[in-house]
Structure 1
Amino acid sequence: MLDAKDMTETAAVAHGLPPRDEDGNLRADFVDRVAEAIAAADTALLRDMVGDLHEADLGELIEALDSDLRPALIELLGADFDFTALIEVDDSVREDILEELPPETVAEGVRELDSDDAVYLLEDLDKEDQAEILDQLPPPERVALARSLDYPEDSAGRRMQTELIAVPPTWTVGHTIDYLRETAELPDRFYEIYVIGSDQRLLGAVALDRLLRTRRPVEIDELMDPERHRVRATDDQEAVARLFEHYNLVAAPVVDGDDRLVGVITIDDVVDVISEEAEEDIRALGGVKSDEELSDTVWTIARGRFNWLLVNLATAFLASSVLGLFEGSLEKMVALAVLAPIVASQGGNAATQTMTVTVRALATRDLGHANAWRVIVREALVGLVNGLAFAVITGVAAFAWFRVPELGIVIGLAMICNLFAAAVGGIAIPLVLHRLRVDPAVASGVFVTTITDVVGFFSFLGIATLWFGLK
């Protein structure tokens, strides 16, 4: 516990202490000062130090603090704490904090958030915890959040913001502008006005720039775009992201099954979706669970990675069993044991290149039935060209190493076979898995690696056995 003198010195140091260094990293001494202020329950100093931080910086600070200090920081700041910062932290960190805070505190913070951020904050909590927090909210806010939480995970309904501006088609431009100026309960940022009928069905949208450039007496229905791109609340968030990308959208209205306007999705939500999906694909290619976080415990991470490593071990035994078929050949020519892993490894790397491009093309819908065969042929030719190139390189290297000309020819032929198989397998396996509705990002790697190992070992040792007459 700091005494009065220590607190005075801490305050003096804290004032003017920038949270980040010249490289943009969070300063360790700044984190230490904040931790000391929390331990001393110095609310005034905390407000001076972190009160003006951007929510992203505040979220990074929260992750840098010890777990027992995080809820204390929030409770000490009280109404001055921006709950948007909790959107910026790892899921496991956020869940631990929310479980430690009283439901009343969380409910008060949720009320200050946009509805999409509030849903994101609550969606990973247990149903009981969600209900306990929702019970603390006024009925209109409670009903809106509960409805959003009822939509499927990763759907537009979970991502949408229910705060929007909707007007009837009979209003004039002047009436609409006056409404925007005089109404306090409006979204912080909006890009277009939505036009709805008496039954709440979406009729169209009016962009803000067009609204402001039009004379006041003009009616809204003369300005609205009735063909405005809209999304269903049940649409998958990846489909929504592709819609935004394809049509260069900034915002899109969200409707229910009866075409009634229920929310809006904006570009900041879509950027988050694109980032999350890309990160998920990258992790899946490495056999890492999509929800693994840097803040997870050793046991959680080890348990999450174990099953996929076990599958890889089984396929590794399968590939190694090919070596057993040529045990006699390996005993008679040690050079084969030295060179065989080179062929398999080169094939694995080539397959990974093809597989990465294929999985990403499937995710972005750039690869489909219309162009699948053309791309397969192209990748096969790429594998053949690279196979020929590396056949020459490895053949010369093998000859220089072991001074056996025939060995260079053998490894060259094996390299051609394996790089061709790697290219075909790298695209064919993800396509087959996609057709079977299995995520190719998750399952492709182990199958492709097994194929390249088996083909690499079998082609090299098989050709060597035939060429040298080994038994």
Structure 2
Amino acid sequence: MDQTQIVLELNTKLISIIEDYKKGISDIHPFDIAKDLQDLRDIEINEYKNICKKIPSDLFAQILVNMPTYIQEEITNIISEKKVAKVTSSMDSDDASMLIYNISQKDEDAAQTVLSKLNDEDKQIIEELNAYEEEQAGAFMQKELFSVNINETIDTALKRLKKEKDLNILHDIFHAFLTDDENNYLGSIGLEELILFERTQTFKELPKDIIEHYSFNDKEEIDEVVSMFTNYNLNALAIINSDNKLLGRVTHDDVRNLMQEQDTKQLYSLAGVSDKAEEEESIFKIGKNRAFWLSINLITAILASIVIGLFDATIQSLVALAVLMPIVASMGGNAGTQTLTVTVRQMALGSIEYDDAKKTIIKEVIISLVNGLLFAFVIGVIAYFWFNIPLLGIVIAISMIINLVSAGFFGAVIPLVLEKLDIDPAIGSTVILTTVTDIVGFFSFLGLATIILL
């Protein structure tokens, strides 16, 4: 199918979806619409702009939250700032604040113009959320929630909930957040629990054991919120300030998105590339970003080559050493990467920290030692039969043990040290570890060969 035909089909499909939505009969999920829009954008930007202008603001709000950051950043170049303001007003507060933030990263003036077109309440909420630091929990909270006064009856609360749901004010409500007359947070209760009690009862009269008391401070790091959701299987979490006042909530879908972003960032960082740049930048800029870490890797490769150069006479005397060298380096690199990946992931999940890392380091060293002994025996036997030099098998076996043990040790230690130095362990660990395993592997193998074989 040629490009023109693809554009025509996407155009026809999207226009049909828009018309069905206006009639109230559309059953297409916003995620699927977002995907089709992205496909159209990548093929024909002008048709993409035309379709975007036709999408109703409330539908566009649902679509835009399912689109990548770089598309949100450019949205004021696609539709008018007036329409962007209408789209923003149709979003939940956390999504709205994120949209304005993303726009501001590309065009601060456009973001301010959109803000100026919002009503005072929406504008105040967005400015409040965007005033938080990027990694603080408050920046991710949603102001829309269902809170009830402890002295309120279940009947009154549920009638109010129905009214707010009918007005499309609240979405994804799982809990009622309990407060007193001064908005102090007292806990939360699952809505399904309320069917067990008389509707004339007040929330104060409900059994204490059905009330949950999970909450999180708005100034703490969002990573800890992710851990709480995982550890306690939460659907929503109250966000409070230092005075215990209820400010908002973080929901499970926000946390799911955060976990995906963290996993993606971690994966890209281990490879020495930027997750944001890979999605947003031009080919030239992506290449430039990758070139930095490739340059670092080149320097480390030169260091390893210098170590090899120290033993050039040894290599010339026994060519078999040159044949076996890559095996030692490769095994050390792979073993170290295994340990590094496990350690960085556990650190991201909060399973290990610098102060209690001794157990993890010992565990990884023991695992590496066991594997080292196993593969030392295997490669020692192979080297013996391959070159018919008994001592060569011993040399590479000992070197294999040394390199795998050091790989296990440094694979665990390097990310922990970087974390202690406030450096993202996922970014610099791989390059440092590769340097260490190469140098240790080559130095131990060639050094032992010089001592034992010559």
Indicate whether the TM-score tops 0.5: yes
Which is worse superposed, 265-274 or 66-75? 66-75
Q: In the alignment, which of 322, 347, 363 is matched to residue 332 of structure 2?
A: 347
- RMSD (CA atoms): 2.4
**Which residue number corresponds to residue 86 of structure 1?**
64
AA aligned to 1:256 is N
In 2, Cα distance between equivalents of 1:69 and 1:256: 46
AA aligned to 1:444 is S
SS at match of 1:263: strand
**Which residue number corresponds to residue 464 of structure 1?**
449
SS at match of 2:74: helix
Note the C-alpha offset of 1:404.
2.3
SS at match of 1:313: helix
The 1:177/1:94 distance shift into structure 2, 3 A limit, reads closer
Q: In the alignment, which of 161, 184, 191 is matched to residue 174 of structure 2?
A: 191
Q: In the alignment, which of 80, 91, 95 is matched to residue 102 of structure 1?
A: 80
**TM-score of the aligned structures, taking structure 2 as reference length:** 0.90
Contact 2:216 2:238 in 1 (8 A): yes
Contact 2:187 2:212 in 1 (8 A): yes
User: Identical aligned pairs, as a percentage?
Assistant: 33
Matches within 5 A, 1:26-425: 31-37=6-12, 43=15, 47=19, 52-65=27-40, 66=43, 67-79=45-57, 81-126=59-104, 127-183=108-164, 184-185=166-167, 186-223=169-206, 228-294=213-279, 296-368=281-353, 371-425=356-410
The 1:388/1:310 distance shift into structure 2, 3 A limit, reads same
Which is worse superposed, 338-347 or 362-371? 362-371
AA aligned to 2:247 is V
Contact 1:107 1:136 in 2 (8 A): yes
SS at match of 2:423: coil
AA aligned to 2:48 is R
Note the C-alpha offset of 1:256.
2.2
Contact 2:189 2:212 in 1 (8 A): no
Contact 2:187 2:214 in 1 (8 A): no
Note the C-alpha offset of 1:85.
1.8
Note the C-alpha offset of 1:351.
0.2
Contact 1:115 1:163 in 2 (8 A): yes
The 1:36/1:271 distance shift into structure 2, 3 A limit, reads closer
**Which residue number corresponds to residue 425 of structure 2?**
440
Cα deviation, 1:284-312, whole Å, max 9, x if unaligned, reads 11111131344532012112212111111
Cα deviation, 1:212-271, whole Å, max 9, x if unaligned, reads 221022111223767611112222211101111112211111112322212111111111
Note the C-alpha offset of 1:353.
0.3
Cα deviation, 1:116-140, whole Å, max 9, x if unaligned, reads 2212222222232221111111111
Note the C-alpha offset of 1:340.
0.9
Which sections of structure 1, spanning at least 5 residues, go unmatched?
1-26
Note the C-alpha offset of 1:451.
0.6
The 1:30/1:352 distance shift into structure 2, 3 A limit, reads farther
SS at match of 1:167: strand
SS at match of 1:123: helix
Contact 1:163 1:263 in 2 (8 A): yes
Contact 2:58 2:87 in 1 (8 A): no
SS at match of 1:88: coil
In 1, Cα distance between equivalents of 2:253 and 2:407: 39
Note the C-alpha offset of 1:375.
2.1
Contact 2:60 2:87 in 1 (8 A): yes
Note the C-alpha offset of 1:372.
2.1
* Larger helix percent: 2
The 1:192/1:410 distance shift into structure 2, 3 A limit, reads same
Note the C-alpha offset of 1:330.
1.4
The 1:287/1:317 distance shift into structure 2, 3 A limit, reads same
**TM-score of the aligned structures, taking structure 1 as reference length:** 0.87
Contact 1:319 1:454 in 2 (8 A): yes
Contact 1:161 1:263 in 2 (8 A): yes
Cα deviation, 1:67-107, whole Å, max 9, x if unaligned, reads 33332211023447432222222222332233332111111
SS at match of 2:102: coil
In 1, Cα distance between equivalents of 2:242 and 2:356: 33
The 1:44/1:275 distance shift into structure 2, 3 A limit, reads closer
Note the C-alpha offset of 1:182.
3.5
The 1:240/1:321 distance shift into structure 2, 3 A limit, reads same
AA aligned to 1:360 is R
In 2, Cα distance between equivalents of 1:283 and 1:195: 41
